[in-house]
């Protein structure tokens, strides 16, 4: 089937590719790089592992709060401008990070950084994918969100090299420039707000002549400033929040993300505790590589089985992998634990937006996801700080922090199970 522009490829897959690139830069220079920033800043006399861990927590909490406004922006207007604004804010935050000279400055910059990341990452990215796909939504989300891990594979080692060779003060602004280069051109050139903007229907079917004529008579740039049509498939936010499944996902992800983000933020320190510097550099690449492989396989598996069953399996695997990391038996168990943990990182990040899209549709997806993301951001924000506090209490050893992370993941699984099965398809026409 030819696309509206004459291409034999449905333009939605070009959206997926663009978002993959966009997330590679936004996540690679923020989400995965927190371990690098944490250790670089903690090496300065005015900061500690605990104070920088709190800053990372502020980043995620700030992003969660900002996500409510981001959701309204991308639901009512063209998501491209939200993404570009977020990239600019992130650039200034990364640049400022090189010049902070007090704890309050550090916390302020990280709060601003969280705002920029929220506006240029998951909420607008997953909203776009859910608008363009229904039948192959799981696969599309898995491919697009691979950028979350690809950033860790490509940009985290590059960031380590830049910090070691140039110093953090020089490297941080350069990473801000990379953020701009990797996000803004991609967003402006390839992203489009929805299939109707190109005379298409979801999944690539040709829009009806009536829609095509309307689109032809109306300027697309003005059209995307109108609110999303209420006829879109799915439930309203009020309908979604009335069921226990929404709260099961939202509350479960508080503790799942506490474990996940805390584990990621401290993986550099954990590896350095057991390995040489050269071995550590290689070990921290295991997690994002495993995340990519696991997510791509997971996208295929979800098309073959119950999404809820697959989510439960990933949660159990996260508990086991964190327990393995906590054991600290050998370099082999460390690498195995990081690999299994990486598989869960890749899939659980994909599964939250997918669970919400599958359960509630796309009508008010951005708002529903942003509220769920805000609830889970409490765990995301707390994870690095909690593990940093336990690390200090445990005489600067990581065995107990990762045990706490495994226990948090177990609690997340129980809360998710309490949410019950996915709602029926009432309201999803």
* Sequence spans of domains, the chain: 11-195+232-418
Q: Is the pLDDT of residue 295 over 90?
A: no
Separation CA 188–CA 47 (nearest Å): 39
- Give the gyration radius of the chain's Cα atoms: 21
CATH for 11-195+232-418, options being 1.20.1250.20, 1.10.8.60, 3.30.720.200, 3.40.190.10: 1.20.1250.20
Burial class (CB in 10 A: 0-12, 13-18, 19+), 1: exposed
Residue with tokens 């708002």: 367
Q: What is the mean pLDDT of residues 231-235?
A: 67
| Residue 277 burial (CB count, 10 A) | 9
Q: How many CB atoms lie within 10 A of CB 169?
A: 12
Task: State the residue for tokens 């695997």.
Answer: 317
| Averaged pLDDT, 157-184 | 92
**Degrees to nearest 5, angle at CA 428 with 370 and 425:** 100
* Cβ(182)–Cβ(24) below 8 Å: yes
pLDDT at position 5: 53
Mean pLDDT of all residues in the chain?
A: 85
* C-alpha distances out from residue 47 to 37, 53, 104, 173, 188, Å: 12, 10, 11, 20, 39
Task: Give the residue among 176, 158, 29 at the shortest CA–CA distance from 99.
Answer: 176
pLDDT of residue 206: 58
Most confident of 1-10, 126-135, 194-203, 246-255: 246-255
Residue 95 to residue 88: CA distance in whole angstroms? 11
Cα separation, 27 vs 288, whole angstroms: 11
What average pLDDT does range 12-27 have in this prediction?
Answer: 94
pLDDT of residue 253: 95
**Bridge partner list, 206:** 200
Which one, of 74, 142, 192, lies nearest residue 354 by Cα? 142
Instruction: With a cut of 70, say whether residue 232 has pLDDT above it.
Output: no
Could you tell me the end-to-end alpha-carbon distance of the chain, in angstroms, rounded to an integer? 24
pLDDT range class, residue 207, cuts 50, 70, 90: low
Backbone angles phi, psi at 361, to 5 degrees: 80, -170
Residue 200 φ then ψ, to 5°: -120, 165
> pLDDT digit string (tens) for 94-130?
999 999 999 999 999 999 999 999 999 989 999 999 8
- Segment 378-388 mean pLDDT: 85
Query: Under DSSP, is residue 206 helix (H, G, I), strand (E, B) or coil?
Result: strand
- What whole-number distance in Å separates Cα of residue 30 and Cα of residue 38? 11
pTM (2 d.p.)? 0.78
Residue 53 has what pLDDT?
Answer: 80
Instruction: Indicate if the alpha-carbon torsion angle 268, 274, 276, 281 is positive or negative.
Output: negative
Q: Which two tokens stand for residue 335?
A: 């690498």
CB atoms within 10 A of CB 332: 8
- The whole-angstrom separation of Cα 41 and Cα 376 is 26
Please report the beta strands in 18-132, taking only residues with DSSP state E, as ranges in sequence order.
Answer: none
- 252-256, 361-365, 407-411: which has the minimum mean pLDDT? 361-365
Q: Rounded CA gap, 232 and 143, in Å?
A: 24
Lookup: tokens for 350:
């994909």
């Amino acid at each position: 089937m030819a696309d509206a522009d004459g291409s034999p490829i449905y333009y939605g897959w070009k959206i997926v590719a663009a978002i993959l690139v966009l997330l590679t830069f936004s996540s690679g220079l923020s989400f995965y790089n927190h371990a690098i920033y944490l250790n670089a800043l903690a090496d300065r006399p005015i900061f500690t592992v605990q104070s920088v861990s709190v800053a990372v927590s502020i980043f995620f909490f700030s992003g969660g709060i900002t996500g409510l406004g981001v959701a309204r922006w991308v639901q009512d207007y063209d998501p491209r401008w939200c993404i570009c604004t977020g990239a600019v804010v992130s650039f200034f935050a990364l640049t400022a990070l090189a010049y902070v000279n007090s704890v309050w400055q550090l916390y302020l910059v990280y709060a601003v950084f969280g705002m920029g990341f929220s506006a240029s990452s998951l909420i607008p990215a997953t909203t776009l994918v859910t608008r363009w796909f229904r039948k192959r939504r799981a696969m599309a989300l898995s491919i697009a969100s691979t950028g979350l891990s690809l950033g860790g594979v490509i940009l985290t080692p590059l960031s380590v090299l830049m910090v070691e060779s140039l110093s953090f003060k020089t490297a941080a602004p350069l990473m801000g420039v990379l953020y701009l280069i990797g996000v803004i051109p991609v967003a402006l050139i390839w992203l489009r707000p929805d299939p109707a903007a190109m005379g298409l229907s979801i999944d690539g079917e040709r829009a009806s002549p009536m829609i095509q004529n309307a689109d032809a008579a109306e300027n697309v740039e003005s059209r995307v400033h109108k609110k999303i049509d209420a006829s879109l498939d799915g439930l309203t936010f009020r309908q979604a929040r009335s069921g226990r499944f929404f709260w099961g996902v939202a509350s479960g992800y508080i503790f799942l993300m506490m474990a996940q983000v805390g584990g990621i933020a401290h993986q550099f320190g954990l590896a350095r505790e057991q390995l040489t510097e050269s071995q550590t550099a290689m070990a921290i690449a295991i997690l994002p590589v495993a995340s990519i492989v696991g997510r791509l396989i997971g996208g295929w598996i979800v098309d073959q089985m119950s999404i809820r069953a697959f989510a439960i399996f990933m949660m159990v695997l996260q508990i086991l992998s964190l327990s393995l990391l906590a054991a600290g038996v050998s370099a082999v168990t460390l690498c195995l634990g990081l690999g299994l943990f990486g598989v869960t990182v890749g899939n659980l990040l994909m599964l939250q937006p997918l669970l919400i899209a599958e359960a509630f549709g796309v009508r008010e997806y951005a708002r529903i996801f942003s509220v769920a993301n805000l609830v889970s951001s409490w765990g995301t924000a707390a994870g690095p700080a909690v593990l940093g506090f336990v690390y200090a209490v445990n005489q600067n050893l990581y065995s107990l922090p990762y045990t706490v992370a495994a226990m948090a993941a177990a609690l997340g699984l129980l809360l998710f199970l309490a949410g019950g099965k996915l709602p029926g398809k009432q309201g999803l026409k």
